[in-house]
């Protein structure tokens, strides 16, 4: 019996030592465990990289027009209005069919553009006339390139026949050149798509009409 008891004790002790050895041999976690890839840290990284409302990028997307767009539309309206007024003088003062045809085309193109620009400014909550115009639309010709002065408009209204044709063509060429200059400024500084499209349209149409009027004058 004593031998059996001793043998059992040896077996139990061996088993216990084996168990302790197994626990000691298990590798402990090291500092190399990729903790940065845990779900919690990945979620945090995703949130931090998302665009922040009110950021500079969001602000630039929200901006649809700038001061150059407002100035272009406000100043081109009275500029076009004077061209329409000049065109309306033609019918009773010329005997030249080419001048009459050109005047009809100018009025037919520019009045719808006036309506378009007026509606655009209204959608922006901006008045159709700049504050400094004093309600006269700048018709004195002091603030917009190519505008006829009041005296020039009076002389034009008083002329007839070939004298009228010469004054009208000279004045309208200068007027159109001013519109092209204003369109170039909008294309250089404006950001509103429809305003820039209109500026390109004005530039192309009025440059072609400048060439046509110079031919009528023999230039």
Predicted local distance difference test score (pLDDT) of residue 129: 85
In tens, the pLDDT along 22-60 reads: 444 444 444 444 444 443 333 333 333 333 333 343 444
pLDDT tier at 62, thresholds 50, 70, 90: low
Q: What is the mean pLDDT of residues 77-81?
A: 97
Lowest-pLDDT range of 98-102, 130-134, 198-202: 130-134
Task: Provide the percentage of residues in the chain whose pLDDT is more than 70.
Answer: 66
Judged on CB neighbours under 10 Å (0-12, 13-18, 19+), 137 is buried
Would you say how long the chain is, in residues? 219
Average per-residue pLDDT for the chain:
78
The DSSP element (H or E) to which 147 belongs, if any, is: none
Predicted local distance difference test score (pLDDT) of residue 182: 97
Q: How many CB atoms lie under 10 A from the CB of residue 130? A: 17
- Identify the CATH assignment for 67-127+140-216 out of 1.10.10.10, 1.20.1260.10, 2.30.40.10, 2.60.120.10: 1.20.1260.10
Which ranges of the chain would DSSP assign to H, the alpha helix?
2-25, 39-48, 56-62, 67-88, 97-123, 150-158, 161-189, 193-216
Predicted local distance difference test score (pLDDT) of residue 7: 45
In tens, the pLDDT along 203-219 reads: 999 999 999 999 999 98
pLDDT tier at 131, thresholds 50, 70, 90: confident
Domain ranges within the chain, ordered by starting residue: 67-127+140-216
Predicted local distance difference test score (pLDDT) of residue 116: 97
Q: Is a pLDDT exceeding 80 seen at residue 180?
A: yes
Between 150 and 143, the more confident residue is: 150
Could you tell me which of 169, 177, 162 has the C-alpha nearest to residue 215? 169
């Amino acid at each position: 019996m004593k031998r059996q008891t001793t043998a059992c004790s040896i077996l139990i002790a061996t088993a216990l030592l084996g168990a302790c050895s197994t626990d000691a041999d298990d590798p402990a976690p090291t500092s190399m465990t990729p903790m940065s890839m845990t779900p919690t840290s990945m979620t945090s990284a995703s949130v931090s990289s998302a665009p922040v409302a009110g950021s500079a990028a969001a602000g630039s997307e929200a901006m649809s027009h700038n001061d150059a767009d407002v100035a272009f539309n406000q100043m081109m309206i009275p500029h076009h209005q004077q061209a329409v007024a000049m065109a309306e003088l033609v019918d009773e003062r010329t005997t030249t069919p080419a001048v009459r045809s050109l005047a009809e085309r100018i009025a037919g193109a520019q009045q719808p553009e006036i309506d378009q620009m007026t509606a655009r400014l209204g959608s922006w909550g901006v008045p159709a006339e700049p504050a400094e115009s004093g309600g006269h639309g700048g018709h004195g010709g002091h603030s917009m390139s190519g505008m006829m002065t009041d005296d020039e408009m009076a002389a034009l209204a008083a002329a007839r026949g070939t004298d009228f044709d010469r004054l009208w063509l000279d004045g309208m060429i200068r007027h159109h050149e001013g519109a092209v200059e204003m369109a170039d400024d909008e294309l250089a500084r404006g950001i509103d798509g429809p305003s820039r499209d209109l500026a390109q349209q004005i530039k192309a149409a009025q440059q072609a009409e400048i060439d046509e009027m110079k031919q009528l004058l023999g230039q």
